[in-house]
Amino acid sequence: MNAIFESCLRIYAIGRNTFIEAIRQKVLHVLVVFGLVLILGSDFFTQLAVDDQVKFLKDLGHAAISWTGLIIALMGAAQLIPAEIERRTIYTILSKPIRPGEFIFGKFLGLCFLLTLIVGIMSLIFWGVLIYEEHQLLGDLVKQPNLNDFQLQFIDHTRAALRDPHMIQAIILLWARLIVVAAISVFLSTVATSTTFIISLTMLIYLIGCMRETASTFWSDPSTPAPLWASVILSVASIIVPDFNVYSIIDEILAGNPVLWKQTLNILGYSLAYVTVLIVSASFIFDSREL
Amino acid sequence: MIRGYLYAALIILGWGAVKTSCEQNIDADVKLIKYGESSDLIRDLPAIPQTQHSDKPTTLARAVRDNVGQSLAIVALGGFRGLAANFVWLNVHQAWTDRDWVRLRTQAEIAVQLQPRSEFYWENGAWHMAWNASTYWERNMDESNPSRRDIEAHRWIEIGRDFLDRGIKINPQSYTLLVRMGDLYANRLAEYHQAYLWYAEAAKRPDAPLYVSRLTGHWLMKAGEYDEAYKYFIDLGKKAIATHETNQTHLYLIQKNIQECEKQLHIPPEKSFFTK
């Protein structure tokens, strides 16, 4: 029991150091600023949307958080181990009584802290933008006396869309998607040494994961029967690659369609299982690797 | 060294075998949320006549491949369907400004395929087709033959109606789409009894505003069915009193409609609902 507790402490110590190291990086600050500009700018872009401004704003804000988070997850995770090897700091760490598995878990935990912080900050800013948008859209209208049925309906509809509590589910799922991407990147970084290769391959896996269902639908169409090679690729992809299409319900939440917490928790459970499998596998590979 | 890779491969393959059923369960939930469910609400909907314009929906993959650019396809298929749908909708708006109705229809079809559960695209797409495109053809003096103008205008109303009908089948819980279908029958086809049927269905939805229930009776009056309208408004009034409705405008308008029905039905003042 004591050994497990000590192991957890070591993982936490590595995670904390990884987190502190990451937030000191200037490139991270630039990316966060870029994300914030995108979120704040989304209000400007809604001017393009002549009809449904609220949906446009919510989709743009979600995309800004996702893209920034995705870049940080990809770059951060891909550099975690190759950078330690390149700087030779890994030898100092592993010469201490730390198991390679603890090192991988700790590194990944630090990255999770970082992604949680970034998604949290950007979500808060996005929330501020939504409040501002509500003020812009309804500020003058709510002050008017004797509103008619249609005006009251517009106010209710706009408020419901902007203050939708289901948005929390969207943010949690967005975070889970980033964590899975980071886990893939960490896994690949135990196999490969080139950061560019790891980033490219993770991105490719992400896209395959997103398009898997679409490809299945396309090839299951009787007018376009799947060739043998396509069936083989699809089967392999369905075993190895995560189904990123499950996170597409984020779009539905943003569009105002109710999603049950049970469904959100199912996806979170799936993400957690995937992350565990990837990190445990990465630990085995790292353990047997000759540094 | 090989042992670590072997263990990792075994874990991943083992998980791969287990996760398929897990993914199938989640996928079923996701599809339900994205494409709606076959609900009892659909069974009760009024029928619309089948026309040659009734489209068979194509798969998203095919629609995207055929109709959108590569970059937008990557955005759409890369997990940002909502965002892609927004940008496709900008094309719909542009096509409306250009009065390019065929492009408008194609782009609206893509938007609804990207986000079939977004009422907004169905509602506004149908409005563009059944109102804007149709009115354009009614008034299009470049076409010298008035019969051809009428045929083309009517064709666009049917296209809009079929489009809206598909939207309702995917979003049967939406009172907005049902109201729009009622509006289409009343204002574009002058079929007031059909408008009443669609409004009556909309009024059953729990979030439908009060005016929907009033307009339901109004369409009966427009259809000349004053007997039915009279009974309907009396029931509506009783229901409003029973539920302690506080909206004075609603109560006043029900009263006015009852009086109008009594006038049309030549009910003497002593037999008036208000006297009784």
**B93: three-class secondary structure by DSSP:** helix
State residue B58's pLDDT score.
47
Size of interface A-B (CB pairs under 8 A): 157
Cα A216-A217-A219 angle, rounded to 5 deg: 65
Mean pLDDT of A104-132: 90
- Work out the minimum CA distance from A120 to partner chain B, whole angstroms: 20
Cβ–Cβ below 8 Å for B12 and A251: no
**What is the per-residue pLDDT across A148-196, written as a single tens digit (0 to 9) for each?**
777 887 888 888 888 888 899 999 999 999 999 999 999 999 888 888 9
pLDDT at B62: 53
Considering only the beta carbons, identify the residue of A49, A278, A286 that sits closest to B86: A49
Tens of pLDDT, residues A6-56: 888 889 999 998 899 888 887 777 777 877 777 777 766 666 655 577 888
Q: How far is CA B65 from CA A134, A212, A225, B163, in A?
A: 37, 15, 16, 21
Residues of B in contact with A273 (CB under 8 A): 15, 19, 22
In a structure prediction context, what are the per-residue pLDDT tens digits for chain B, which is 276 residues long?
Answer: 688 888 888 998 888 888 888 888 888 888 788 776 656 666 677 877 766 555 555 455 555 555 556 566 666 666 788 888 888 888 898 899 999 999 999 999 989 988 888 889 999 999 999 999 999 998 887 777 888 888 999 999 999 999 999 999 988 888 999 999 999 999 999 999 999 999 999 999 988 888 999 999 999 999 999 999 999 999 999 888 888 877 888 889 999 999 999 999 998 888 887 776
Predicted ipTM? 0.76
pLDDT at A255 over 90: no
Residue to substitute from A99, A207, A244, A245, interface B, most B β-carbons within 10 A:
A245
Q: Which two tokens stand for residue A31?
A: 């990316």
CA atoms within 13 A on the CB side of B71: 2
State how far the Cα of A258 lies from the Cα of A167, in Å rounded to an integer. Answer: 10
CA-based nearest residue in chain A for residue B210: A149
pLDDT for B17 equals 84
Report the residue from B62, B65, B82 with minimal CB separation from A255.
Answer: B82
For residue B27, what pLDDT is reported?
A: 83
Q: Do A240 and B33 touch (CB under 8 A)?
A: no
Cα separation of B220 and B222, whole Å? 5
Q: Looking at this protein, which amino acid is placed at residue A185?
A: S
Please state, as a whole number, how many other Cβ atoms lie within 10 Å of the Cβ of residue B13.
12
Q: Which amino acid is at A231?
A: S
User: Per-residue pLDDT for A214 more than 80?
Assistant: no
Smallest CA–CA separation between B32 and chain A, in Å?
A: 10
DSSP string computed for chain A:
-HHHHHHHHHHHHHHHHHHHHHHT-HHHHHHHHHHHHHHHHHHHHGGG-SS-HHHHHHHHHHHHHHHHHHHHHHHHHHHHHHHHHHHTHHHHHHTSS--HHHHHHHHHHHHHHHHHHHHHHHHHHHHHHHHHHHHHHHHHHHHSSS--HHHHHHHHHHHHHHT-TTHHHHHHHHHHHHHHHHHHHHHHHHH---HHHHHHHHHHHHHHHHHHHHHHHHHTSTTSPPPHHHHHHHHHHHHHS--GGGGGHHHHHHTT----HHHHHHHHHHHHHHHHHHHHHHHHHHHH---
Question: Does the beta-carbon distance from A217 to B81 stay under 8 Å?
Answer: no
Average pLDDT over residues A256-264: 87
CA dist A213 and A238 (Å) reads 9
The answer to whether B46 and B197 have CB atoms below 8 angstroms apart is: yes
CB contact under 8 A, A270 and B19: yes
Among B2, B61, B211, beta carbon nearest to A217? B61
**Rg of chain B's alpha carbons, rounded to an integer?**
25
**Preferred mutation among B5, B10, B15, B121 to probe A, highest tally of A CBs within 10 A:** B15
Q: Which of B4, B22, B120 sits opposite A52 (nearest CB)?
A: B120
| Cβ-Cβ contacts under 8 Å, B83 against chain A | 59-60, 62-63, 251
pTM here is: 0.81
In this complex, do B80 and A267 lie within 8 Å of one another by their Cβ atoms? no
Residue of B nearest to A216 (CA): B61
